[in-house]
Structure 1
Amino acid sequence: MTDRLEALEDWAAGLLGQLEPASRNKLARSIGQALRRSQQQRIIAQQNPDGSKYAPRKQRNLRGKQGRVKRKVKMFQKLRTARFLKANGDRRSISVGFTARVARIARVHQFGLRDRAENSARQVQYEIREILGFTQADLDLVRDGLLDYLSQ
């Protein structure tokens, strides 16, 4: 995947060098927003960039829990919102990522790190769930967005 990303970067460098800085800013913002929408759709579908499903949650013993117990709630429902998943673009780069405290939660799941679910809980090894990542469709989206912008 990194080879294809580097090839796209090399291909686009000459074209982007000919644009004015204001035009590059506008293009970067629009491509960044399109990438964010693509990532949001993949998170809604609960899929890794390679197309496989996220590892399921571990079962919890909820017998002692009072009140209503929510089941079958999709993971990362709030993380995918524009409040937490930000797209930034300037004349030199485009980035899509998480902000503030949720960035730590996303990093733990992205790389399968150890963390505590609560302050008083024991540490747990989390499964790898690639929340952010490039698919071939994302690379095509960037290429097509650049071509569309230049053809106008």
Structure 2
Amino acid sequence: MNNRLEALEDWAAGLLGQLEPASRNLLARSIGQALRRSQQQRIIVQQNPDGTKYAPRKKRKLRGKQGRVKRKVKMFQKLRTASFLKMRGDGKVINVGFTGRVAKIARVHQYGLKDRPERNRPEILYQKRELLGFTEADIDAIRDGLLNQLTY
């Protein structure tokens, strides 16, 4: 996939140089929004970019109120919202990523790092769950967006 992304970059470099700055900005914003939407959809279905499911959560023994029905909440439910998953695009670069304190949480899960779940707790190793990444469909969408912009 990395070769395919580099080939797309080489192919698009010459074409992007021919666009006016305003058109380039518009193109970057539209591609960035499509990429953010794609990442959000992948987080909703709990999939890594290669199509595999996220590693399941570790079972926890929680003592709740008696008679309370616990519902299963998907991981990263709030992280996928637009308030945390930000997109910024201008004529030179497109950024899709997490901001603020949630960026640390996302980084730990993205790379499978160690972290403390709470203060004064031991560090634990988190499973790798790739929140952000390119799929084959994302690369095709970038290419198609560029072609659509150039044909107008």
Structures share fold, TM-score greater than 0.5: yes
Secondary structure of the corresponding residue to residue 96 of structure 1: strand
Q: How far did 1:120 drift? A: 2.5
Shift of 1:133: 0.4
Structure 1 residue ranges (4+ consecutive) displaced by more than 2 angstroms after TM superposition:
64-71
**Identical-pair percentage:** 73
Please tell me whether residue 112 in structure 1 is matched to residue 87 in structure 2: no
Q: Which residue of 2 aligns with 1:55?
A: 55
Distance, in Å, in 1 between the alignment partners of 2:69 and 2:8 is 47
Q: Residue 135 of structure 2 aligns with which residue?
A: 135
TM-score, structure 2 as length reference: 0.95
Q: Which residue of 1 aligns with 2:16?
A: 16
1:1-43 superposed Cα distances (whole Å, 9 cap, x missing partner) = 2211110000000110001111101110010000000000000
The number of residues matched between the two structures is 151
Task: Give secondary structure in 1 for the equivalent of 2:97.
Answer: strand
Q: Tell me which residue corresponds to 1:77.
A: 77
Q: TM-score, normalised by structure 1?
A: 0.95
Matches of 1:115 and 1:121 in 2, distance apart? 10
Tell me the C-alpha RMSD between the 2 structures.
1.2
State the distance in 1 between where 2:139 and 2:12 align: 12
Q: Matches of residues 35-46 of structure 1 in structure 2 within 5 Å? A: 35-46=35-46
- The aligned amino acid for 1:54 is Y
Measured after TM superposition, the shift of residue 69 of structure 1 is: 5.9
Aligned position for 1:30: 30
Q: State how far apart, in whole Å, the 2-side matches of 1:116 and 1:146 are.
A: 43
Residue 65, structure 1, aligned to residue 64, structure 2: yes
Residues 25-73 of structure 1 deviation map (CA, whole Å, 9 limit, x = unaligned): 11100100000000000000100000000000000011x3336463321
CA distance in 1, matches of 2:98, 2:3: 25
